[in-house]
Chain A
């Protein structure tokens, strides 16, 4: 039995179809990533799963409960971590947890016990009596997650949690998610950060234009692409002229200060590429080789640029 399961899920807004026949299954205990560019339909899907939107058609079940018909039950077994730091800054850490716990009709003692447990897990216990507005950015990020865990949810849903976070906070968030997951909570995360998804998720679906375009573990997805990339910087850097010549032998992407060349057979084409640089009197100053990533997977799957 899947913790999360959608069948032919559709959500339209007028003429626009945000979610278009999505079939999704998430097994218990995993970190599941919804990856896609902005406007792909990730947030719409999340909103349906968190009962904020009613599906136009199809079904979405969480632990067997229909999000459209069993709203209260669904909401009591999921925890939602919004993008913004959504807690009350004038309340202390503990007060916030007690408040959100009380929304689930939990006994106060149980709330406190669970709060201690969570704060300990997220390394916030020593800050429990501190006003939330006085916490550091990383702490606030952790508190934001903690508020979603106070009622012991089966599923933790995070919608673009790392947006706007500094690298330290983002890292702290990832650690937190891992800890929560290790505590047995199934995690559904939407992100457009490939690295984050690659690092966190046990399984990923790539979403574009409301549809699932790829699904698998990060390794499986990257293996499907099999393309490596080489980033070459040169002087004087007439990349446009160079790109026109290289296009004939390999896929090339032009940026302001470099060319990114993709190929599954660099052994044969790399000398040709370097020859083109020489012929154009371009002096190569930097060559960086990279393995395929999830962005490549997206481009491979959709044939579209990641926006």
Chain B
């Protein structure tokens, strides 16, 4: 019963403290709303907006990587132009990216992944996801390549056997050609070009002799013709003299006819011989002799006729002479005609001989050419020999190679493409591999501790001053409200700085947290501005609160959601976008980032976070000031 009284009394008091009552209801509602918003979407959403730098995307392989990465909603990708691995590592180390990828120029080189392992929750997830993604992607690329290779190799393998046969055939053909060439060479060697030349020269000399002889014959022939012509003239004059004498010796003629007849018979006999043997060989010396004999007989008959019966015989002889002369003339004319034809024939022969000589010159040229051909052919055949030898050797080697290639291809194509596909090697580098997890938690620890300290101390001390009346009493002095608030802020800042020193000193001394001398000043500057902003916010809570309960609950309503929205326990990359955007502008987040920049990334204090905290301080200070002034001076 007494306990019930206590319960009833406490509930009654809470009911009457309107702001406390409101906060008792609002505190779980607000906390659940905010935390629920952060976590409810997480399993579906997964990591988002993980900053990823990539360089070396100029190659086809690089573009494939980028395309593969862009399929992941997780990354916020920035393509850097031509960064060295060291430069990329520096960018990750400076906190610009959660991870950095350096793509190799050559696909077979190692792909380097630099991870900001200070992000304890994000780093392993990114690493795993990235390894899986890149390996899958590289596997696809390699598999595709190998499948193409397989197709090509199969086609090659199919072509190799015919090719071998073709090579063998070519080699056989070359051997045949070589053999043929050898035979040609032998044939050419058998050619007696010098003998041919000598024969041609002999023929030319013979022809020249023949030509000069023919010319000489023509000269003699023409002389003969002249002589025949002269003889013909003589015979003609004889004929006319004989006719004249016969006419005169008509009477005598009959007397001497008998003699003449005897002579005539001889003459006839000689002429018969002559005509028989010398019809076509008038120039034959025997014929000529015969002819001379005939003529001597005729002269004898004339003489006889002259002597015995000078007139009669002469007369008969003269008749005969006349006839004979006429006949002789005719024969001489025929002979001349024949000699003329002979001359013409000789002239023709001489012309023919010229033509034959010209032909012989052509033969001579041909023989020269043949000699040159033989020399060239000898050189060519020598080269063909060398070439054939080389081709023979090469084709032997080629055949051996083809056989070994066929054997190798049979071995390779006997395996499956997937067993050959080897993923691209991914090399992970933790950029802060020399640091402990406490190093990475330090920014969060400092931020959380100082947030609670500043929140609670600022709100509770001012509430206590309000409720105990010391605030009113203080404000009854000439002290201005601004002076009071600044004084309060500075006092609490001293406490915050002391706490900061204790945390940092313990972390450094007991747990070996990495800390350099150059980091100390920016660290405590960050602690200063961070604490100031939370002290100012705490003063706002105190200004609106009317009891310690209200101040405490207000602090919880603000601080608990901030714990989950600052990215320390639950990374921004896992939050829904709206909550992440909201969380990014909270003072605790700016503080955590500032401590990270100082302790992990060693960048000192960045203007952005500093400005956010300064803005919170100024705004909260102004709100606290005006609210308290409204209460103190009405």
Contact = CB atoms under 8 A, between A and B. Distances in A.
Interface of A: 50-54, 71-73, 75-76, 78, 80, 82-88, 100, 103-105, 147-148, 151
B165 to A, nearest CB: 110
B472 interface: yes
B86 interface: no
Interface in B422-479: 468-470, 472-479
A82 B478 contact: no
B469 A84 contact: yes
Contact of B473 (A104, A105, A147): A147
B415 interface: no
B60 interface: no
B476 A80 contact: yes
Interface string B458-502: 000000000011101111111110000000000000000000000
Contacts of B634: 52-54
Contacts of B632: 52
Contacts of A87: 470, 473
A79 B268 CA distance: 210
21 contacts: A51-B633, A52-B472, A52-B475, A52-B632, A52-B634, A54-B634, A72-B478, A72-B480, A75-B476, A76-B477, A76-B478, A78-B476, A82-B472, A84-B468, A84-B469, A87-B473, A88-B470, A100-B473, A100-B477, A105-B478, A151-B477
Contacts of B468: 84, 86
Contact of A103 (B469, B472, B479): B479
Contacts of A147: 473
Given A50-B476, A72-B478, A88-B470, 10 more contacts: A54-B634, A75-B478, A82-B476, A84-B468, A86-B470, A100-B474, A100-B477, A103-B479, A105-B478, A151-B477
Interface string B102-125: 000000000000000000000000
A147 B477 CA distance: 11
B470 A103 contact: no
Nearest to B470: A86
A103 B474 contact: yes
A147 B474 CA distance: 10
Interface string B599-634: 000000000000000000000000000000000111
A168 to B, nearest CB: 22
B625 to A, nearest CB: 16
Given A51-B633, A52-B634, A104 B477 contact: yes
B473 A82 contact: yes
A152 B575 CA distance: 62
Interface of B: 468-470, 472-480, 632-634
A163 B472 CA distance: 18
A71 B477 CA distance: 9
A87 B480 CA distance: 19
Given A51-B633, A86-B468, A80 B473 contact: yes
Nearest to A87: B470
Contacts of B469: 82-86
B470 A54 contact: no
Contacts of B474: 100, 103
B470 A52 contact: no
Nearest to A89: B468
A77 to B, nearest CB: 10
Contacts of A82: 469, 472-473, 476
Contacts of A51: 476, 633
Nearest to A11: B634
Given A52-B632, A52-B634, A75 B477 contact: yes
Give 9 closest A-B pairs by Cβ, nearest first.
A86-B469, A103-B477, A84-B469, A86-B473, A80-B476, A72-B478, A76-B478, A82-B469, A75-B478
A104 B478 contact: yes
Of residues B468, B470, B634, which shows the largest number of chain A Cβ atoms within 10 Å of its Cβ? B470
A52 B473 contact: no
A80 B477 CA distance: 9
A285 B209 CA distance: 210
B379 to A, nearest CB: 123
A72 B481 CA distance: 12
Nearest to A103: B477
A287 to B, nearest CB: 44
A113 B475 CA distance: 24
A245 B53 CA distance: 103
A247 B433 CA distance: 100
A75 B634 CA distance: 16
B475 to A, nearest CB: 7
B478 A52 contact: no
Contacts of B476: 50-52, 75, 78, 80, 82
B626 to A, nearest CB: 15
Of residues B469, B474, B477, B478, which shows the largest number of chain A Cβ atoms within 10 Å of its Cβ? B477
A82 B476 CA distance: 10
A96 to B, nearest CB: 9
B633 A54 contact: yes
Contacts of B475: 52
Contacts of A53: 633-634
Contacts of B477: 75-76, 100, 103-104, 151
Contacts of A80: 473, 476
Nearest to A86: B469
A76 B634 CA distance: 20
A84 B473 CA distance: 10
B491 to A, nearest CB: 12
Contacts of A73: 478
Nearest to B473: A86
B65 to A, nearest CB: 66
Contacts of A54: 633-634
A249 to B, nearest CB: 48
Of residues A75, A80, A84, A86, which shows the largest number of chain B Cβ atoms within 10 Å of its Cβ? A86
B632 to A, nearest CB: 6
B420 to A, nearest CB: 80
B463 to A, nearest CB: 14
A118 to B, nearest CB: 16
Contacts of A76: 477-478
Contacts of A85: 469
A111 to B, nearest CB: 13
Nearest to B475: A52
A103 B633 contact: no
Contacts of A84: 468-469
A54 B474 CA distance: 18
Contacts of A83: 469
Of residues A54, A71, A73, A103, which shows the largest number of chain B Cβ atoms within 10 Å of its Cβ? A103
Nearest to B484: A103
Contacts of B472: 52, 82, 86
B480 to A, nearest CB: 8
Nearest to A81: B473
Nearest to B471: A86
Of residues A50, A54, A82, A85, which shows the largest number of chain B Cβ atoms within 10 Å of its Cβ? A82
A76 to B, nearest CB: 5
B469 to A, nearest CB: 3
A106 to B, nearest CB: 11
A197 B252 CA distance: 240
A271 B507 CA distance: 93
A148 B476 CA distance: 9
A83 B632 CA distance: 16
Contacts of B479: 103
A85 B476 CA distance: 14
A53 B476 CA distance: 11
A72 B480 CA distance: 8
Nearest to A72: B478
Contacts of B478: 71-73, 75-76, 103-105
A82 to B, nearest CB: 5
Contacts of B633: 51-54
Nearest to B476: A80
A53 B630 CA distance: 10
A67 B473 CA distance: 17
Contacts of A86: 468-470, 472-473
